[in-house]
Structure 1
């Protein structure tokens, strides 16, 4: 059995983008994620880094221990490198720390959480897209997930751009990640700036409320901060027209996940054209559909206003 290594230093370089998996206290979800990932072409040629967060409470220790026992039994990847935190970082700090750590020795990464199922083409798509668009200053993120929008079935290209980001199976590059600021003080400019809020909300009117909740300490999200960094740099996310990732954490078991049926997708038999396109622009019709899918109801906006003074 391949013996996982404990992460101390990162000196080796690999041609394929390494995979980073963040795990916590969901042993069954973690197992499904790893088993699905192993079915992807290129899995056995890929290096897998696993970051395991420590339990926040004594009640979570048993589940965390189960996850840690399981990840030390994984084999089938080129190399498996594990880092177990001795203190609870929380998801946001874990992702920021882990991705930054791996960028000490790699130029691009593929980032996963413990509640995802993949198409067999996922790793091929991610690696080829990361190679193709590495020098494109307008693309900060490659997403394996795609939104369930009807009009994409008639879209002629295999990929599209959006000002919306996604954290469900994604990739980025060292130079783009290096432009990020994580301290909340960087984002405070949005609090009383309606013009900036409206610009950020091009991807859905849930964006500004989420960032303001981040600033108020209501949520702790790396993803909404990363989305804002993209917006500030006039950058976009590249998506496949058919999703290569399904989130199984929409059952309400995740740290920040509630049951959200509107994001559920089926993994279809999809062979994306890995030659990709050199001329990509935002399709405003697609963007309108994405904005509508991700916008808050009047009821949710009213609740935000009553609870947090956000509308």
Structure 2
């Protein structure tokens, strides 16, 4: 059954995260306008001093994101100075949940289908008091033939932040500086969490870089992934893809290169009423397929196999001369 604007629950507040891209901001704002949330929170990072003209671009974006023409309470958090992707976004989400108990979060390059708002609203209500669930995602990046069509969603250990929702109870656990990371690592609790050596190696690498500060200023999502991992929190993933990413290109901070999988994403209608799983368990088959499809290549998987069988000392020595396995 296809939903209409009148069928969308308008009670869930929306946080709209914007910065300096008027065109994509306008597209996403038009989608928000169709949903007509009763509460809209708009957070914007400040312009960078070394980018001529960015102050004016940021001003235009803020005008677009607050051009509300429906009955709605609008709140804003506009930074005067640039905080960077990591701090600006995480602080905005914390600000959001200082005012609401649950809500939907959209960045300026994440274009949602109208069904996305209804799906998130129903999931927020359904799992409001179930602390096993910490996140509701909007993406499904698997081909149709690899999906389980019996249910409207499945449970995952992975992050889905291109349009998502959560609760204050979950975000209150967030730690930007990854509290307990060293202690948990020393006890090797990480080792049993991941499904494969490839997955463990990938996340250990990005977590280490984030914790050490290498990716600190531009990331918040790795810290959020780690927070959920630390608290055994699951993500709800829809059986249909409800958000597409418009942000690939030279102006993006992270998604600067084209990706055939991401570029082929289409908005899909969700069938209502939702078909709920009878059990709350991670679909490890789906998680494995998603990780393999998005985060690995045949060559990267080959490198990981080599790293497993070659003594670590040899790799450390060879790394000085060959940048092949890292």
**Could you say which TM-score interval applies, normalised by the shorter chain?**
0.7 to 0.9
Q: Tell me the TM-score normalized by structure 1.
A: 0.83
**Corresponding position of 2:288:** 288
**Corresponding position of 1:3:** none
55, 59, 63: which is aligned to 2:57? 63
Please state whether the residue corresponding to 2:206 is helix, strand or coil: helix
Bigger Rg over Cα: 2
Residue 146 of structure 1, CA deviation: 1.7
Residue 293 of structure 1, CA deviation: 1.8
**Corresponding position of 1:28:** 23
Unaligned runs of 5+ in 1: 1-13
Contact 1:158 1:241 in 2 (8 A): yes
Provide, for residues 251-284 of structure 1, a one-character-per-residue CA deviation record: whole Å limited to 9, x for no partner: 3432222333323411123324336345232222
Aligned Cα root-mean-square deviation (Å): 3.0
Residue 161 of structure 1, CA deviation: 0.7
Residue 237 of structure 1, CA deviation: 0.4
Shift of the 198–257 alpha-carbon distance from structure 1 to 2, 3 Å rule, reads farther
Residue 104 of structure 1, CA deviation: 2.0
Please state whether the residue corresponding to 2:36 is helix, strand or coil: helix
**Corresponding position of 1:216:** 212
Contact 2:14 2:40 in 1 (8 A): yes
Greater shift in the superposed pair: 98-107 or 199-208: 199-208
Residue 309 of structure 1, CA deviation: 12
Q: Tell me the TM-score normalized by structure 2.
A: 0.79
Residue 143 of structure 1, CA deviation: 0.6
CA distance in 1, matches of 2:27, 2:10: 26
Greater shift in the superposed pair: 74-83 or 232-241: 74-83
* Number of residues of Structure 1 aligned to a counterpart in Structure 2: 293
Contact 1:200 1:228 in 2 (8 A): no
Contact 2:47 2:82 in 1 (8 A): yes
230, 238, 241: which is aligned to 1:240? 238
How is 1:18-97 mapped onto 2 (pairs within 5 angstroms)? Answer: 18-39=13-34, 43-59=35-51, 60-76=54-70, 78-97=72-91
Shift of the 243–204 alpha-carbon distance from structure 1 to 2, 3 Å rule, reads farther
Contact 1:22 1:50 in 2 (8 A): yes
**Corresponding position of 1:254:** 252
